[in-house]
Structure 1
Amino acid sequence: MVDLGCGDGRPLIAAALLCKCRGVGVDISQQCIALAKSIVSQEGVSDRMVDFFRWDLLSDQEAVLNRLVEAVEAKAQEAAIECKDGIEAVVVFLYVYPTLLARMVDLLDRLVRAWRDFRRVEVVTLTYHLEAPVGGGEGGGVLHRVCGGRVEIHTLEKKT
């Protein structure tokens, strides 16, 4: 799971605790990252399960793209050692204001395309609508669905 604009990291930490998933959280605020790391420590979550980084998602998208791809691949390799079935999906979680969401469409599209080797990539937005589909094109299909009016899931599945 990748939480972009993670704030204090609670969704990622909950996913690690409840689903044993690995994850990466990114936020621009050093205070939020420090709080997320503090909560990880309090909850007893291993730092092998989750990492939090202070990165500006908008200032240098090329560098952020490369760092995120590298961080997720490292988590996937660690998980593959422990899970014989491998990684099912990469889930990108966003609970950010619509203005930030709109500015992140290009980065999201590039991330989804970079993770095409995974069986499935899902971009999940909470509360706000993601205007543009991401990751479509050759080799994959995009499915969009709304869950309960507040959650949107954009899924890229490999075409067979």
Structure 2
Amino acid sequence: MSELKDRLRQDLTASMKARDTQRSSTLRMVLSAITNAEVAGKEARELSDDDIVGVLSTEAKRRREAATAFTDAGRSELADKETAEAAVIADYLPEQLDAATVAELVTAAIQQTGAAGEGPRGIGKVMGVLTPQVRGRADGGAVAAEVRRQLG
């Protein structure tokens, strides 16, 4: 079993003993999403820690988007719930990259791939190099926007 999945299960047990219902329900939901990812496809497989970080990133993004939608609809109590769930999930994600660091990584990737003169056609090359570097540590949409901005 992966270290991260084992940590999630241990933390779920601890939160249940502490009667922390918010954390318990969020961890149950995350473990369920991991299990669903493991059995998706033609045959079941054990997810690696990197795969689990991908699932966690997806779940955190869903919570952020839902919180925004609830806030826009004037449903602050539901937005607060989604924000709290996103905070619990964020505890298990790697440290997030700030905008300056993402910009530096994009610049380095553009130089590495030689895509500076290609304009928007070079986005695929640059993202191919960047994606493994930022997976789980930065929002893919924000990275793609920075690549588009720098390529021009």
Regarding TM over 0.5, the answer is no
TM-score with structure 2 setting the length: 0.32
Q: Report which of the two structures shows the higher radius of gyration computed on alpha carbons.
A: 2
Bigger proportion of residues as strand? 1
